[in-house]
């Protein structure tokens, strides 16, 4: 299948690949899988005292569209509040990357991952 230029760009030069130490309490981790294909995405956010996402990293074991979706997402969430980040819609990602219908679930994975990362961060904060 043909990938869009933006997908290829993120796929060949993924932004913010990596990992934060999950035990640090300024880190939120979202780990999600796509039932449709078995691909897995780990997205992590680093949040400052003002509740702003300072940094984000991802690792995606999956297709080019999933890698591009998570790469794009790490760029988008930087500088956002937790609420703003949790409101990012997969449709915005799919539109930006010009994903074809069969690849929409790859962007859903990215939306699920950021929501899970925000939830994980919040849960850590209430427990500790």
List the catalytic residues.
37, 106
Report residue 62 CA to chain centroid gap. 13
Task: Say how far apart CA 33 and CA 15 lie, in whole Å.
Answer: 20
Q: Find the part of the chain contacting ligand FES (CB under 6 A) among 14-22, 44-52, 105-113, 114-122.
A: 105-113
* Nearer to ligand FES (CB atom), residue 82 or residue 112: 112
DSSP 4: P
CB of 105 to ligand FES, least distance (A): 6
14 binds ligand FES (CB under 6 A): no
Give the per-residue contact string, 53-92, with ligand FES (x = CB under 6 A; - = no).
Answer: ---------xx-xx--------------------------
Torsion sign, CA atoms 15, 82, 32, 103: negative
DSSP 127: H
Site for ligand FES, residues 15 to 44, rule: CB under 6 A: 34, 36-37, 39
Task: Say how far apart CA 94 and CA 56 lie, in whole Å.
Answer: 20
Report residue 75 CA to chain centroid gap. 9
Cβ atoms of residues 4 and 97 within 8 Å: yes
8 binds ligand FES (CB under 6 A): no
Q: Point out which residues bind ligand FES (CB under 6 A).
A: 34, 36-37, 39, 62-63, 65-66, 103, 105-106, 109
């Amino acid at each position: 299948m043909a990938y869009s230029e933006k997908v290829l760009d993120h796929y060949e030069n993924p932004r913010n690949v990596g990992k934060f130490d999950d035990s640090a309490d300024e880190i939120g981790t979202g780990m999600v899988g796509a039932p449709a294909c078995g691909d897995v995405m780990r997205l992590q956010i680093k949040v400052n005292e003002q509740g702003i996402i300072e940094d984000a990293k991802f690792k995606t074991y999956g297709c080019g569209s999933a890698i591009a979706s998570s790469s794009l997402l790490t760029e988008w969430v930087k500088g956002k509040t937790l609420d703003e980040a949790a409101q990012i819609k997969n449709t915005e990602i799919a539109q930006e990357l010009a994903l074809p219908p069969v690849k929409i679930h790859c962007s859903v994975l990215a939306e699920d991952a950021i929501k899970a990362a925000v939830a994980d961060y919040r849960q850590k904060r209430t427990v500790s």
